[in-house]
Each structure stands twice: as structure tokens, then as C-alpha cells.
Amino acid sequence: MKRFCLLIISLLFSAALFAQADFTEEFAVKDTNHLLLDVYMPSVAAPDTGYPCFIYVFGGGFIGGRRDEPRMVKSFEQLSEKGYVVVAIDYRLGLKGVTNMGINMVSILEYAIRLAVEDLYSATSYLCANASRFHINTKEIMISGGSAGAITALQADYWLHNQHETARLLPANFRYAAVISFAGAILSRNGKVKYADGNPAPTLFYHGTEDQLVNYNQIAFANIGFFGSNKIVPQFEKYQYPYRYKRMLNFGHEVAALLPYFIDEVDEFYHTWVKERHHYRVEENWYDPDYEPIKWGRSKPSDLYNKGNKK
């Protein structure tokens, strides 16, 4: 267990050398923003059906972050070595410059999420249009992210299955193969999270029980709610949607940065839930008795948006 604590420290503070993307391409221009994506190609031969594709959306509270974040790039290389085309994308930062969300919090947050989801949809469409060039199996495109990136991934699949107007950016009849969320949530104006067509992608949830930045439970008023993993999963269980939920006991928002630690588990999820199409519903508690909480993992929204967020 102690090696987990050491890994957390190395993820946050190491300056190790990392691999570079095989390709960097522009997938869209929006509001004068030239949006790029990095592609990490597998070294193994492509299956007859094409490679599975893993799209990663970086975190940063919708105010910062970067697609080539050093602590994540090594993970992209590891996934590509396992046979995935890994794609790390840009998106517009809708909360950049916001210093006090106040009474307009819901509208401002929804605006930021919408921009990010639109850009994820555009990147997905670009990959589908270039699937033969990248040898991608368009039926096995998965989306993932940490924090704001996890919110974007969860919201993208949620809106897709609720006929949200932004989903028109995707190819007709497109569906994501899986969602992997590290400390994510879904914003709903219609009460509890519900999927209108009853067919969300198999979802792998990671969330810290002490997370206050992207709340582990929910923040709700009337029919408006920002629902964390612990409130989304019961809906998956109720309607028997396929999922795996790793409840990280005593962890805070640092869970958002833990993709590097769970590479093998993510790979297993793909093979079991996506490739073999087992519709399991699994919940587990994960506890490390030696773990000491990281200070920034206990951050609250006020810590992020009321100071230090300047254009």
C-alpha cells in the first residue's frame, strides 16, 4: 500500500522524461481557438476490425490544463502499447477568468461543460472521419478523463442518450463504447440522472469519498443537480446498466489524477465489459490504511474559482 502513496507523490512532482505523440493534428477551429489532438499509435499490428480507441480529456476545472500533461503522457504510451489508439484532445476552457461563480453558478458551469462536450464530440467526429487512416474501430471508441475531463466524458454520454442538441455534432447512430471517469459528475436540470433511451455506455467510475471539488454525492436545488458518482451509480444499478464503481475511501479529489495507477484495470474493463460484452454491475470499496490525504485533494470550488483564476 505504501507504494501507492509514493506513486501519488511521483505523479504530482516528478520531472521524468515521457514519450511524444506520433501525430498532432488540428480537428476544429472554434471561437478562434485552433483545437489540436495528439495521437499515440500502437506498435502491434491492427486487428481486422481496427484498434480500439481511447480518447482522454484533461482536467483543470475548465480553467486550465493541457492535453500533453506530463504526468499523463506516460499512461498514454502504456495504453498504446496494450493495443489502443490513444487520443488526447484540446477543448475550450469555459470557466477561464471566472473568479466568483455566485448566483449564476449553474448557468456558468453548464456553459463550460457544453463547450467541452461540443469539442469532444467534434474530436470524435474527426476520428470517425479519419478512422481508416488511424485504423480505428469506430464501434470501440471510449472516452475518459479526470475532474473536468471526467465531467465532460460523463456528460457527453448522458447528453448523447438524451437527444441533447449538441449530439448532432456526432455521426448518425454513433455510440461510445465505454466511459472511464476519474472524479466526474453529471449536471442535470431534470432531477435525477436518467438516460432516455436506456442504453448508456458501460461506465467505470472512480471517486473519492472525501471529494468536495467534484462532489462525491450531489449538489442539488429543486430539479437542478450536479450529481457525483455516488448518485449516478444507483441509477445504473436500478436500471441494470453495465458499470464498475470503485469507491475510494478517504480519498479526495486527487483521484482525478490516478489513471496511471489503474492502467491494467482500465484495460481489463475494456476486454470484459466492451470486447466480451459482459454486462456486470460491480461495486467495491478501495481503502489504503497507510494513505495520508493530499492537501489539494481537499480543495473546494471556492478555492479554485475565487482566487488565482485570471485570463
| 154 assigned to some structural domain | yes
| 310 assigned to some structural domain | no
Q: Which has the minimum average pLDDT: 99-108, 137-146, 162-171, 173-182?
A: 99-108
Q: What does the pLDDT average to over 151-170?
A: 97
Calpha distance 6→88 (Å, rounded): 26
| pLDDT tens per residue across span 96-117 | 987 766 656 888 999 999 999 9
| 249 assigned to some structural domain | yes
pLDDT of residue 98: 78
CATH number at residue 84: 3.40.50.1820
pLDDT of residue 295: 82
Whether residue 13 is predicted with pLDDT greater than 50 in this model: the reply is no
pTM of the full structure = 0.92
Q: Which has the minimum average pLDDT: 4-18, 237-251, 267-281?
A: 4-18
Give the pLDDT band (50/70/90) at residue 16: very low
pLDDT of residue 9: 46
Instruction: Say if strands 224-228 and 185-188 run parallel, antiparallel, or are unpaired.
Output: antiparallel
Give the pLDDT band (50/70/90) at residue 14: very low
Number of domains in the chain: 1
pLDDT of residue 102: 60
Q: CB-based contacts of 130: which residues, under 8 Å, 6+ apart?
A: 136
| pLDDT tens per residue across span 72-99 | 999 999 999 999 999 999 999 999 987 7
56 and 142 in contact (C-beta within 8 Å)? no
Dihedral (Cα; 171, 50, 147, 149), 10-degree rounding: -40
Q: CB-based contacts of 214: which residues, under 8 Å, 6+ apart?
A: 147, 150, 151, 183, 184, 185, 207, 228, 253, 256
Whether residue 12 is predicted with pLDDT greater than 50 in this model: the reply is no
Structural domain that includes position 157:
2-305
pLDDT of residue 131: 97
pLDDT of residue 301: 82
Calpha distance 246→65 (Å, rounded): 25
Give the pLDDT band (50/70/90) at residue 181: very high
| 100 assigned to some structural domain | yes
Q: Which three cell numbers stand for residue 256?
A: 482525478
Q: Which three cell numbers stand for residue 7?
A: 506513486
| 205 assigned to some structural domain | yes
113 and 157 in contact (C-beta within 8 Å)? no
Calpha distance 280→303 (Å, rounded): 38
Q: What does the pLDDT average to over 238-262?
A: 96
| 227 assigned to some structural domain | yes
Q: Which three cell numbers stand for residue 177?
A: 463504447
| 311 assigned to some structural domain | no
| 185 assigned to some structural domain | yes
